[in-house]
Chains A and B, each alone.
Chain A
Amino acid sequence: MSDPLEVSRRESSVLRISVRTAAIMLAFTVIFTALMAGTYKLTEPLVTASALEEKLRLIGEVLPSALHDNDLMKDAIDLPPQAALGLDVDTRIWRARKAGVPVALVMEAAARDGYSGRIAMILAVSADGHLLALRVTSHKETPGLGDYIDPKKDRNKTRPWITQFNGLGFDGVPREKWRVKKDGGHFDQMSGATISARAVTNASGRALAWATENRDKLFALPANGRFEQQGANP
């Protein structure tokens, strides 16, 4: 039963099977990783092109192209993470000018206090401190309930909720009134889904205040420069 020769033979066969299966697992991993890497390399240029096109389309939605005559992609600066904008990664700010005169800043911002997860948005702030327009670019709010912050999902097609910010500044709506009505502010919300509206409203107010405060520095930077003032990490 406990023949030492038998035991050692059994052990060596276990070892052989382990090595064999490990080698096969490794081979599968290498082959399928190569497959994924190959597909990634093959599709990367097309994916980057569509992402850029998507970004241009979004910028076009918040900033009418008639307002500026410069190439936004060339007149952009890098922005380190800014707590005031809810951003924890590097982003770009695009600067619109007409005949060299500053017109507007297009920037990204995010709200971290939505109903579920981060609400990312893009907004254009005019050089005289008005919020030209605001769009939600990605969110995970409840479908059919909080998702009216995205005009594509808003059931009010003639005047989507998000358009009520268009053209407003702190001269029309004071800073302390830049809230939803439920919090004693100026902006409407849909009953039953206040949290989504409150998150977007407060984030847009913070972004507008930040842009107004820093606009001279932002416009003065050379193209492709970096705005060095790093906000505290949110």
Chain B
Amino acid sequence: MSAYKDIAWNGLWKQNSILAQLLGLCPLLAVSTTFVNAVSLGLATILVMMLANFAISALRALIPYEIRIPVFILIIAALVTVVDLAFNAFLHDLYLVLGIFIPLIVTNCIVLARVEAFAAKNGLRASTLDGLMMGIGFVCVIALLGAVRELVGQGTVLAGIEMIFPTLSGIQVLPDNYPGFLVAILPPGAFFVLGLLIAGRNWIEARTNQRRLEKRLHDHPPSATAASA
């Protein structure tokens, strides 16, 4: 049970695909201009990561070590194509929203990275969970990035939500005459916000480690300190 907890914790925080591993920056930077776009890409990514991890974990005994990377890429690309076609045919309304994002997932090296680092060595259930958790970790970060860029760049929250829920509409939070901040919407803005998010995560990690160290010092004072006192 604790192994599954470790997988979840790794995916969400400790090995977070973006904040810790810095993987998948291409779709991340391109699509995180608004919250709705970011979450849409994230959900499609979760689906593909779970499928890819599941398929490769199931086939791992059949894949020779020497050619594992081309086979992984083949399987991931085939799965993405199948998901793309299936969405187009059976969930057409959702496809109109998510459709442009699905082919982008192939360019996301986080899918290949998890397949290589985890699914090729672990069982079906653990691998699928790893895909899910890594995907959720990806969605959380890209959603935050999208929300910040959207607010700073054009002063709105949830712009474009009407493409998914036609009854809702985005809200202009900043005053109507807010001129917009172009850099936030263009790719450099994504780098700035991402840099701040990574700095934030490192700060939290450093503070937790510091606390842990202080607690240990408090509980078991080193004898050297005691002697000099």
Contact A43 B86 (CB under 8 A): yes
Interface mask (B82-109 → A, CB under 8 Å = 1, otherwise 0): 1001101110100000000000000000
Give the residue of A21, A42, A145, A152 whose beta carbon is less than 8 angstroms from that of B185. Answer: A145
Docked pose: A33 CA to B82 CA in angstroms: 11
Give the residue of A43, A144, A192 whose beta carbon is less than 8 angstroms from that of B33. Answer: A144
Q: Whole-angstrom distance from the CB of B135 to the nearest CB of chain A?
A: 22
User: Could you say which of A20, A28, A39, A143 has the most chain B C-beta atoms within 10 Å of its C-beta?
Assistant: A143
What A residues does B222 contact at CB under 8 A? none
Secondary structure at chain A's binding surface: helix, strand, loop or mixed?
helix
Contact B85 A21 (CB under 8 A): no
User: Could you say which of B78, B153, B154 has the most chain A C-beta atoms within 10 Å of its C-beta?
Assistant: B78
Is B37 at the interface (CB under 8 A from chain A)?
A: yes
What A residues does B153 contact at CB under 8 A? 144
What A residues does B86 contact at CB under 8 A? 39, 43
Interface mask (A163-204 → B, CB under 8 Å = 1, otherwise 0): 000000000000000000000000000001000000000000
Q: Whole-angstrom distance from the CB of B23 to the nearest CB of chain A?
A: 23
Contact B33 A143 (CB under 8 A): yes
Is B175 at the interface (CB under 8 A from chain A)?
A: no
Residues A32 and B78 in contact in the complex (CB < 8 Å), given A25-B67, A25-B70, A47-B89: yes
When C-beta atoms are compared, the residue in chain A nearest to B159 turns out to be A144
Secondary structure at chain B's binding surface: helix, strand, loop or mixed?
helix
What B residues does A17 contact at CB under 8 A? 66
Docked pose: A25 CA to B69 CA in angstroms: 11
A residues 112-168 in Cβ contact with B at 8 Å: 142-145, 152-153
Give the residue of B74, B88, B180 whose beta carbon is less than 8 angstroms from that of A144. Answer: B180
Q: Whole-angstrom distance from the CB of A136 to the nearest CB of chain B?
A: 15
Docked pose: A139 CA to B86 CA in angstroms: 24
Residues A32 and B89 in contact in the complex (CB < 8 Å), given A24-B62, A144-B180: no
Interface size, B (range): 20 to 34
Contact B85 A40 (CB under 8 A): yes
Docked pose: A21 CA to B65 CA in angstroms: 9
Is A35 at the interface (CB under 8 A from chain B)?
A: yes
When C-beta atoms are compared, the residue in chain B nearest to A22 turns out to be B67
What A residues does B159 contact at CB under 8 A? 144
Is A46 at the interface (CB under 8 A from chain B)?
A: yes
Give the residue of A35, A46, A145 whose beta carbon is less than 8 angstroms from that of B90. Answer: A46
Is A1 at the interface (CB under 8 A from chain B)?
A: no
A residues 35-56 in Cβ contact with B at 8 Å: 35-36, 39-40, 42-43, 46-47, 50
When C-beta atoms are compared, the residue in chain A nearest to B33 turns out to be A143
What B residues does A35 contact at CB under 8 A? 78, 82
Docked pose: A24 CA to B81 CA in angstroms: 22
Is A13 at the interface (CB under 8 A from chain B)?
A: no
Contact B89 A28 (CB under 8 A): no
Q: Whole-angstrom distance from the CB of A160 to the nearest CB of chain B?
A: 14
Can you list 28 A-B contacts (CB < 8 A)? A24-B64, A25-B70, A28-B63, A28-B74, A29-B74, A32-B78, A33-B78, A35-B82, A36-B78, A39-B81, A43-B85, A43-B89, A46-B88, A46-B92, A47-B85, A47-B88, A47-B89, A50-B92, A143-B33, A143-B34, A143-B185, A144-B33, A144-B34, A144-B154, A144-B159, A144-B180, A152-B163, A192-B182
